[in-house]
Structures are given as structure tokens and as C-alpha cells.
Chains A and B, each alone.
Chain A
Amino acid sequence: MSGYRLNSGGLVDRTKRLNFTFDGKSYSGFEGDTLASALLANGVSLFGRSFKYHRPRGVYSAGPEEPNALVTLRSGGRAEPNTKATVIELYEGLEAQSQNCWPSLEHDLLSINQLGGPMLVAGFYYKTFMGPTRKAWMFYEHFIRKAAGLGAAAKEADPDRYEKSNLFCDVLVVGAGPSGLAAALTAARSGARVVLADENPEAGGALLGESQDTIDGQPAQDWVAKTLAELTALPDVTFMPRTTVYGYYDHNILGAVERVADHLATPVNHQPRQKHWTIRCASVVIATGAIERPIVFDGNDTPGVMLADATRRFAQRQGVAVGRQAVVFTNNDSAYRAALDLKDAGVDIAAIVDPRNTIPDALTEAVQTRGIRLLSGHVVTGAKGGKRLKTVEVATFDAGSQSVGESKEWIAADTLAVSGGWTPTIHLASQAGDKPVFDDKIASFVPGKALQAWRAVGACNGDFGLADCLSAGSKAGAGAVEDAGFTSEATPTPDVAVPAHAGSGGSLYPIWEISRPSGPKGKKFVDLQHDVTAEDVRLAQREGFESVEHLKRYTTLGMAADQGKTSNVNGLALMAAALERSIPEVGTTRFRPPYTPVTLGALGGRETGHHLAPVRRTPMHDWHVKAGADMLTAGQWMRPQVYRKAGEDVFAAYVREAKAVREGVGMVDVSTLGKIAVQGPDAQNFLNLVYSNGFKTLAVGKARYGLMLREDGFVYDDGTTWRLGETEYLMTTTTANAAGVLAHLEFLLATVWPELRVQVTSVTEQWAGVAVAGPKSRATLESVIKDLDLSNEGVPFMGVQPGTLDGIPVLVARLSFSGEMAFEVYTGANYGAALWDKLMAAGEAFGLVPYGTEALGTLRIEKGHVAGPELDGRTTAKDLGLGGMASRKKHYIGRPLMEREALNEDNRLGLVGVISSNGKPLRAGSHLVAGQTAEQPGKSLGHVSSTTYSPAIDKFVALAMLEGGLEPNENRELFAADPLRGGHDPVQVVHPCFFDKDGSRMHV
């Protein structure tokens, strides 16, 4: 117990008390608290156990860089693991759980891992458990994952909504700190559409709660409020608090997540919990600030050790003192301000430890005035205390020789505020820019050259002074609007005053790791979240993992939820030291999105449940569903597979349906068939060029089967094309290829024959279609179509005639896919449901049965008609027995390469039929082999493509592609081998048309 609430100060509303629980224990805080600040105010210092060693960990920062204080927020389906206590806004009823500890945070049995510490070095798991085979790893992995890890994902469905939306603007400003506000103000005054996004609930950034600095004579926080008020009053400015811009993608597209309701227990009134924004803009100002850097020393992970600026921020924003007695360890001027402010707030500052010998007068004076002990030329060599810091070990340091002295002193403290300098938050700039550049002045990387339209300003660009931030921000805002085509007026640079002791992070003495000259080395953490130590980095170097990318992967430095925000630069510095190279020579890894973790909910948005993907329904869809059809998707279309009667399985149903068609009459919804209107004076020419068979002689009122090839000579698609008028054709395609064929035709008209006056339009959705098939199909139609002669003379085979079906305008086409006498009846889609109802009613007298795609397949396989499984992109017209459809009299797409030698060899796979010899069903995908046993199948001679039970011949049959085709193989006994699923069954090779070879049934 050492943190406490200060009597005054902070932006919290002390009149609004909020109750919450952490690990089931009740606490209270104030509105404006984060979970971290509220727990600190309640004296909690232990927040979690570390990733690998299960060491006790406290709060290390006050922001999104937090490596330690990860908790599982909320419970049940709303539970979210690995959320950072430092950014969770407190709300009434908040529940949070600590992670990676068992049975409890205080008494974590797995902390025994600490004893095995020297063993659990980088690469330990791989070296120890991988073994010569993967088997060992597969066995151990489960236990290792359980022992080492972060929080667990919720297993229940998240009941909340997540939305996605789009945003367009001229200028996006990321970060509403001083630089971002200045940029947004200048940009907005030009009249541009400006979006200002900040991950925090309020604007202000480093100025949030700042009362000492003044801008134009007013306290900085008042300037923030005034600037924000001016911005939000403008109609073209959108301020988006709680919005993290996490990724910068091509062409100035950025991804952002707005946490709409994460600060509430549950979202209200249909609001989403989070909203993902895809932002497209002309220009971006990156004003993302900087993150303070730790220094690496023994015990630097002890709860109570934290970043210096975080201690100040907790006091400034939430009125919380993080401890009662603090040591400040810094290599730069910025942390003095934290020391002085904490002292002024009533926290005892036991000492300021600074490796530098020369410290600016303004700082030493301010320190002396307050009676603080200043240990210049000293470093912290160790921190001790277990679950809470108790003592800090300090030794002398000689900056010239960079050596730590032998003499040491132990200083009692519950808080050690550390500052190793500042690391610009260059994530977005790195994602959309060239390699970051090392800046010696701040001993860190700043953004490289912009490869898209962005400007980095302020601390993100290595400028830490407030005046510099404001003027650079304003300049960037002006540049950004000019990129977007606006003219901008110069904004006067405000007059800035900061206290003399407000030092900048730029004046630093680079020091990365403190090593005792003798005595225990101890555990010195570089990456707190992934428990990577300084020794691990050196081990990686010794084992040859020298490149930064290898270092990252071998040690896992910089991985996990914080992506190394506090550890990257220190890790690089240690690798550079081990290699005796400079940091820029070692380089840095490229940042990839996301900057902070993004929930899967936000990425998925509303595309979940039945909104996952759109489906396409025919006009008769509702009828099929009401009739109890098993609906299957074919591409995006929903189609009835079978209409099962009580007690029937799919097999019984399709056999019954197929039989009904052969014996009486059936009907099937064929609305999904691709339909393309081909119109214009050159339509006939065009069809003749795209189909392999001739279309010159097709008369009005007639249909013709057409075969379409690809440029490489293989078959692309097939279907019938109907001539509806002199210059009007309706082309049908397979359901699957409808979109592709249209694009193919459009491409040819655009690039090959732009002179042809032809227009192609998808009219798939315009027409509802019903195929009525079977010996009684004519009688059925005659009972409802009175204005059309449906006899062989009136509508001959392949004839197409308009008519009226009980008041509905229809097109009747005499086409047969089933081999029976059959008609396809088409009407406008909005008439489709009525057409179906009327046909069902008319068919009643004839025993009409609706049939689904399964029976449709059975009927076509019995007839040996090819479909998708045979038109698989590897077959030629000749392979399919359709060589006669390849005209020799004209030029058409695909002909030259179809005629090449290799596509005309005798041993190519050709279409055959096969009949199961042992009465067992055949499976598509089986190979045809000559070997008698599954053990010795011999080489594949071909494969089975479409299978069914044939009610017409009472056998299991299939279409197959077989080496040499039918002629050399007819009546040959082969085996259908299915080694993957099991099966080796005898088949007999036959003609692919199993039924009514001369086609007499459909010509009646």
C-alpha cells in the first residue's frame, strides 16, 4: 500500500464516485480515472504476473505503451483480455481480472518459473522441446502455452455490436496534443474538411491537465479548451476522441477504431461498442507524440519502478500520487519536472540520480530550492522489493569512461521514476514511409522520408519543446491543406511560456544498461511484456541472430500486445553494443499495423451471423422454403437441393423426383441460370466469333447450344442462345460462370472488336425461369397457356415463343437438359412466384413434382451432358466429345491454340461413362486405375467427375475423364480408387449417355 489520492489536483470529478472490482475485490474511484489510476489511488501496486517468469508486475506507464498492467476487462462474452489498465476509463460497475497467475495474483504457483530463470533464456522452448521431430513439441506445446501467456479469449459470443464505416476528409490529423491541435486549427481555418483523431477521451496530449505552461498568456489547458472549441464549432471539422488511428495503408487510406462505448458497462440504444473507420484523405498530419524510454538495470521490473513522466501524469490528470517516497533516475532534463511536481504535490523525493556531471543551472536551482538530494554522476544499479519496491541501489558513474563505481548506497523508496529519454511514436510514419532515421540528439529514431502525403510533427518528429511543437504543427497544417488544394493563411505563432525547470528530453546522455562492476548480475529486463532480458539479447548475438529482424524473432523482443513501445530502442542499443556497432548500423524493424491491438469485432463489424455474406435468392425462394426444401448455396445463390417428404432422406427424395420427371412431369427453378442480353446490329457476328460453333444460320424464334472456348483453346462455358429478334439475342450461361462470361464478352468488345455495335447486359435478375420436364410437360403447359400452339409444329425442339400463362407474359423455350420432352418457361422476375404457383396448380392434375438440383444433376448425368465438373478448365471440346461443335469454317476465340498438337493427342483424357460393377455408389474425385487392389492400384488413368444413382437404369453411374476416351476403353473393367477416403471398387467403362441415346424422348 503506497499510492494514494492527493487532496487536490487532477481532472477527475471528485463528486462522482464510481465503484468497480479488481480480482473480485471492490474498490472505488472517480469519474476521469483510468483503471490504473484508480487502483493506484487505492494503494494497489501489484497488477499482474509476467509472461514467462511470472514475476510480480505493477503499472509501468500511464498510456498505451503499458507493458505490464494487462488485465481482462469485463466478463462472459464481453470479456476482453490483455487490455491495458492505463487506458481503461473507469465506469460504474467495471470488472477486471488479473492475468497469467494461478491460483491468485498474490500467490502465483507458476512464479516458480523464476527459479528456473537462467534456463528459460531466449530460444529455450525451441531448443528444449522441439527435439529432432515435431512430436516432442506437439506434446509439450499445450503445457508451455498454458504456463506462458497473456489473458485468455472469451469463449462465449460477444453480445455487443461492432460497426464499420467510411470517412472522407481533406486532412486527417492524428493526435490532439499541442502539435496536432495547432495543425488542425491552421488546416480548419482554410475551410478544408479536417478530422482530428486522438486515442484519449480528451484532447490535449501532453498538455492535458497542464497548469504551469502558458500559451498566449493563458494556462495551456485553457488554450487546449479554446482551440478545441473553435475547431468543433466549424462545420467541416470532426473531432474524434477515443479513436486510435492504427494503420496507414496505400493511397492515404488509414484504419481507425473508435471506442464508442468501451467506457460504459454496456452500449446503450443500439450503439456499437466499437466502430471501425476507414479514412480516406488527401493529406495526413502525424502528431502522435513520443513515449518515454526505460533504462535497463537489475530488478527494473519491480512494481514501483515506472516511467518518470507517468508519475507526473497520474498526479496531473487524476490527482494520484503513485507512492510516498520516490527516487528519480534520469539521463535527461525532462524527468526533473516530474521530480519537482511530485515534490510540490507532497511526495517525498529521496534523490534524483543522474549519470551526467553537468546539469543545467535552472534544474539544480529548482532542486536545491526544494531541498531534494541530487546525485549527479550516479546511476541506479538495482531495485529490490519483490511485490513492491523497497530499496534502490545507487552507485557512482564516470561518464568519461562509462564505468560504474564499486561503492554503493541503498536508498529506501517505494517508487523509482525512470527516464532514459524519449522515443518518438513513429508507427504510422514508418508504415507509410522510408526507413526511420536515427537522431543522435534524442538517441532515437525519427520518421524517414514520407512515401505518401503525410507530415510528422512535434514529439513524433523529435521536437520536444512546446513552442516548436506549436509552430511545426501550424506549418504542417498549412502544408497539408495545400496538398488538398486549399490555400492557407499563416497562423501567428503563439507566445509560449514554460517554467525554467521544464527541461526537454533532447538534452540526454545516452545510457541503456547499467551493469554492476561486480556482484550479482540479476535480471535486467529490456522487454517487460515478453520477459526478454539484456542477457537474452547478447545470447541472440552470440548465437548469430544479429540482424534486428532475427533478434526480434529469436528473443520475441518487441512482440506481443505492446509491440515493444518501451523496449525496441533499448534492444537495438544493446545489440549494437554487443556487435560494437552504432545503432543506425544495426537499424530498426519496420512497424506494421496495428499501432495498438484492434479487436476482431471491430475488423469484422456487422459481417457476422446472417450478415456474414450476402445471399442471392430467386423469386420463388419463399415457396421452396415453405415446401421444406433443403436449400443449398450454389455460388451465392440459394437453390433447393431436394424437396424431402416425411421419412425420406436426400437419396430417396432425388430418386423419387428424377423418376417423376422420366415417368410424368416435374419442374425445377432455373432462375439462377446466367442470362446475358446481346443486342445490336453486329450481335450475330459477335456470337459467331465468341462461340466455337456457327451462329450465322440461327433463325428468329430459335435457340442454339453454344460452346465457348478460352483463348488458350480449352472449353470455358456452354449454354443456349436464343434469337428473340433480328438484332436481339439472349445468351444463357452456366450459373457458376455468369459473371465471368459477361466480363469476358465485355473485354472482347472493348479490346478486340471495339468496332462492333453490340451491347451486352446481364439480365440474369430480370428473368425468373422454370423448367417443366417429362412426358406430361406439354399437357401441363397446354392447360395454362392458351395463346400458343405447343405442339411440335408450334414450338419445335429448340424453338422459343412468347405467350401468356394465365395472364402472365412468358417466353416458352423448348429445351431439354433432362433428355425428356421439356419446356423452359421464363417471365419477369416479379411474376416468378405467381408463375411457379400457377404451374404447380396446373400440374396437379398431371402428378407434377417439383425437383431440386440433385435430381437435375441425376437427369443430366444419365444423359451424359457435361457441366461444371467436366468443364473444369482442363478439357477441350474434343475431350468432351463435342469436337463436332468446333467449326472448321470460321475464326473464333480459342481456335488457334485448340488446334495445337498437344491438345489433339490420342491419349488425352476423354469423356466416358462408368457403371459401378458391385452396386456401390461412386465418388467424384476417385481415380480410374487398372490395378485390382487398393495396395497396388497402378497409375491413374483418369478420374470420376460427376456421380449419381440412375433410376432410369437402376445402377450407380458416373461421368469420368479417361485416358484415350471411349473408343479404346469401351466395356473395359477398371477400378475407381479413392485412397484418401478409402474405396477401390470395380467399374465398367461405357458410353457417357446412359439413357435414350438417340434422344427420341425429347423430340416427341
Chain B
Amino acid sequence: MRIPCPCCGERDLGEFTYGGDATISRPAMDETDLNLWNHFVYNRENPRGPHLEYWQHTGGCRAWFKLQRNVLTHEVGASELVGPWAAASPDDETTGQREIAE
């Protein structure tokens, strides 16, 4: 598999580490409802098809990003930097971003 890193462009799967479901939102630090925390830590959908995932380019620039990936076909779509530099992410052809085809 090839994965488009928002900073480094397309690289081999081996350079990346999967970081989990990116559709899950984390409760606020002061949240006391344990059900919300339970959902955040343990409950995951197991979709057949497109999925939004966290990945880290551990073997490269170490950026965390969100990736659209079809878990059925392995088709990979756009990747999007997360974190303080998300807004400043360069967006040209060198990032290897592609549109995912449905």
C-alpha cells in the first residue's frame, strides 16, 4: 500500500503507523460521564467501505494525519494534517493528495 503523507508525499505503508478511528471524538478533560469515556475508549464501528483513520508517519516526518481509506478495497484518498500545523499545511501537488473515488 502507498499512503500520501501530507508533508512528505506518497510513501510505502511500512513507514506509517495506524492510529485508530478518526471519527471518534474525545470527551473534554473535565467530562465526568463515564459512558462518554467508555464510548471514546472502547466502542468502534467496523465499517465495510470508506473509513476515516488516524495515521502517523513514524518512519518519516512523524506527522499525525487523517486518511480516507476504503477498508474493503484498500483504496486510499485524501490525507489531512492534524494538529497545530493543520491550517498551515502546504497544499500542492507534492503532497500526493488524491481524491477518493466512491
Contact = CB atoms under 8 A, between A and B. Distances in A.
B44 to A, nearest CB: 13
A997 interface: no
A750 B64 contact: yes
B34 A900 contact: yes
Given A280-B2, A743-B58, A897-B41, A750 B73 contact: no
A754 interface: yes
Contact of A747 (B38, B56, B73): B56
A755 B85 CA distance: 10
B8 interface: no
B73 A451 contact: yes
Interface string B15-56: 001010000001101111010011011100000000000101
A883 interface: no
B1 A250 contact: yes
Given A751-B54, A754-B83, A896-B27, 16 more contacts: A250-B1, A250-B2, A251-B2, A712-B42, A743-B56, A749-B83, A751-B26, A751-B64, A751-B82, A754-B86, A755-B84, A891-B29, A897-B34, A897-B37, A897-B38, A897-B41
A253 B2 contact: yes
A729 to B, nearest CB: 19
Contact of A746 (B37, B41, B62): B62
A749 B84 contact: yes
Contacts of B67: none
A746 B56 contact: yes
B41 A743 contact: no
B13 to A, nearest CB: 9
Contacts of B83: 749-751, 754
A590 B1 CA distance: 20
B58 A250 contact: no
B7 interface: no
Interface string A735-759: 0000100010011011110110000
Given A251-B74, A743-B17, A746-B56, A752 B62 contact: no
16 contacts: A250-B2, A250-B74, A253-B1, A253-B2, A711-B37, A746-B56, A746-B64, A747-B54, A747-B64, A750-B63, A751-B83, A752-B26, A754-B82, A754-B83, A891-B30, A896-B37
B3 to A, nearest CB: 9
A250 B1 CA distance: 5
A451 B73 CA distance: 9
A-B CB proximity, top 3 nearest? A750-B83, A750-B64, A891-B29
A235 to B, nearest CB: 24
A892 B30 CA distance: 9
B5 interface: no
Nearest to B22: A751
A711 B64 CA distance: 18
Contacts of B30: 891
Interface string B84-99: 1010000000000000
A746 B84 CA distance: 11
B76 A896 contact: no
Interface string A923-947: 0000000000000000000000000
A892 B76 CA distance: 35
A543 to B, nearest CB: 34
A900 B1 CA distance: 40
A923 B101 CA distance: 56
Interface of A: 250-251, 253, 280, 451, 689, 711-712, 739, 743, 746-747, 749-752, 754-755, 891-892, 896-897, 900
A914 B38 CA distance: 36
A251 B82 contact: no
A743 B18 CA distance: 11
Contacts of A747: 19, 54, 56, 64
A510 to B, nearest CB: 35
B62 A754 contact: no
A251 B58 contact: no
Contacts of A451: 73
Contacts of A897: 34, 37-38, 41
A896 B2 contact: no
A749 B84 CA distance: 8
A847 B64 CA distance: 50
Contact of B41 (A250, A689, A712, A891): A712
Contact of A754 (B31, B37, B84): B84
A755 B87 CA distance: 12
B21 to A, nearest CB: 12
Interface string B59-71: 0001110000000
A892 B29 CA distance: 7
B83 to A, nearest CB: 3
Contacts of B26: 751-752
Contacts of B19: 743, 747
Given A712-B41, A747-B19, A751-B26, A896 B84 contact: no
A892 B2 CA distance: 36
Given A743-B56, A755-B84, A896 B34 contact: yes
A711 B63 CA distance: 21
A710 to B, nearest CB: 9
Contacts of B31: 896
Contacts of A689: 29
Contact of A251 (B17, B32, B76): B76
Contacts of A250: 1-2, 74
Contacts of B27: 896
B2 to A, nearest CB: 4
Q: Which of A451, A747, A891 gathers the greatest number of chain B CB atoms within 10 Å? A: A747
A453 to B, nearest CB: 12
Nearest to A891: B29
A892 B17 CA distance: 25
A746 B40 CA distance: 19
Contacts of A892: 29
Q: Which of B30, B40, B54, B64 gathers the greatest number of chain A CB atoms within 10 Å? A: B64
Contacts of B42: 712
Contacts of B82: 750-751, 754
Q: Which of A743, A749, A754, A896 gathers the greatest number of chain B CB atoms within 10 Å? A: A896
A711 B41 contact: yes
Contacts of A739: 58
A862 B32 CA distance: 39
A747 B64 CA distance: 7
A659 to B, nearest CB: 42
Contacts of A251: 1-2, 74, 76
Nearest to B38: A897
A896 B29 CA distance: 9
A896 B26 CA distance: 12
A749 to B, nearest CB: 6
Nearest to B58: A743
A755 B54 CA distance: 19
Nearest to A249: B1
Contacts of A711: 37, 40-41
A430 to B, nearest CB: 16
Q: Which of B29, B54, B82 gathers the greatest number of chain A CB atoms within 10 Å? A: B29
A751 B27 CA distance: 12
Nearest to B25: A751
A749 B82 CA distance: 9
A900 B36 CA distance: 12
Contacts of B29: 689, 891-892
A432 to B, nearest CB: 11
Contacts of A752: 26
A747 B58 CA distance: 11
A751 B19 CA distance: 11
A711 B25 CA distance: 13
Contacts of B37: 711, 896-897
A897 B29 CA distance: 12
Contact of B32 (A712, A755, A896): A896
A624 B81 CA distance: 44
A751 B84 CA distance: 9
A234 to B, nearest CB: 25
B86 to A, nearest CB: 7
